[in-house]
Amino acid sequence: MEAAAVVAAAAVEGRDRFGLGWRPELAAGILAHLDRIDLVEVIADDYFAAARADLRALKTLAAQVVTVLHGVGLGLASTVPVESKRLDRMAWLIEKTGATGWSEHLAFVRGGGIEIGHLAAPPRTAVSIEGACRNIETARRIVGSAPLVENIATLISPPMSDLDEAEWTEAIVCGAGAGLLLDLHNLYANAVNFSDDPISILHRYPMDRVVAVHLSGGCWIDAPNGARRLLDDHLHDVSTVVFELLRELGRLAPRPLDVIIERDGRFPAFAGLLDQLETARAALRAGRDDRP
């Protein structure tokens, strides 16, 4: 299904949806509380070479709750063409499981044949915009739909950049006709790490392109120059300031949003995650109620 079709379907449904990233450690809790979870997001790369039993389990999950796939290894934001075999696997996984959509990061992950093992921010230039748009179009052609694309966190400002992150991201999503998966903790981390105001940065993103949202937590680390940096680690609870950003996003974004909380480790009691989902619902609802 095209990203535009996914957006249209959400608009017809007319409501925001809230869910969790699927992790084995959270599986029992998610399945026991589907009445409070609207959707789940599954890391696609974990299933590209999955056994049949695991694929059947994922298909069964998708039959019970809205399921979307999230890629981590395509390297869309690169002048290097995305590997068609990876896109073939994404198309295959969507077809096998019945997932309703997919997303990937605006990052590069390899160069010169070397896997760097990290989501890295490329120079924000016209050249990287062109490469990202070309790769998104290739993805649309092979998979059958364009991915939602996600802003990433970075501890260094990409050298040789001509644009700020919001300008660069807008040029890509508008140029490629793609929806935006806006990670609010990534936005917050980048803002505070480079002495910017998170709310001001949020206002610079193209609100009409925002289709989905990631919420997560992080921790402060010491930098070599004696400063401190906020690390996006998905190991901590969503902070109050990120919920405040979600409220402001609710006021600004015209489309229904899919809001996903990501947690990769140091898992709290599942009731704590459900509480964070309810806080997210309340924050977004407050923003919606405050719209002009």
CATH number at residue 249: 3.20.20.150
The answer to whether the beta carbons of residues 40 and 65 sit under 8 Å apart is: yes
- C-alpha to C-alpha distance for 247 and 287, rounded to whole angstroms: 4
- C-alpha to C-alpha distance for 209 and 241, rounded to whole angstroms: 22
Beta-carbon count within 10 A of 183 CB: 24
Q: How confident is the model at residue 111, as a pLDDT? A: 66
Based on the structure, what is the number of domains in the chain? 1
Q: Would you say the pTM of this structure is higher than 0.85?
A: yes
In terms of phi and psi (left: phi > 0; alpha: psi -120 to 50; beta: otherwise), the region of 115 is beta
Alpha carbon of 291 to those of 113, 251, 254, 288: distances in Å? 48, 5, 10, 5
Q: How confident is the model at residue 13, as a pLDDT? A: 52
Residue written as tokens 């063409």?
Answer: 81
Range(s) of the domain holding residue 14: 3-289
* Ordered per-residue pLDDT tens for the chain, 292 residues: 444 444 434 443 579 999 999 999 999 999 999 999 999 999 999 999 999 999 999 999 999 999 999 999 999 999 999 999 999 999 999 999 999 999 999 998 876 676 766 788 999 999 999 999 999 999 999 999 999 999 999 998 999 999 999 999 999 999 999 999 999 999 999 999 999 999 999 999 999 999 999 999 999 999 887 889 999 999 999 999 999 999 999 999 999 999 999 999 999 999 999 999 999 999 999 999 999 7
Q: Which residues contact 214 (CB under 8 A, 6 or more apart)?
A: 150, 181, 182, 183, 184, 185, 186, 260, 261, 262
Spell 254-280 as b/e; 16+ CB within 10 A means b.
Answer: ebbbbbbbbbeeeeeebeebbebbebb
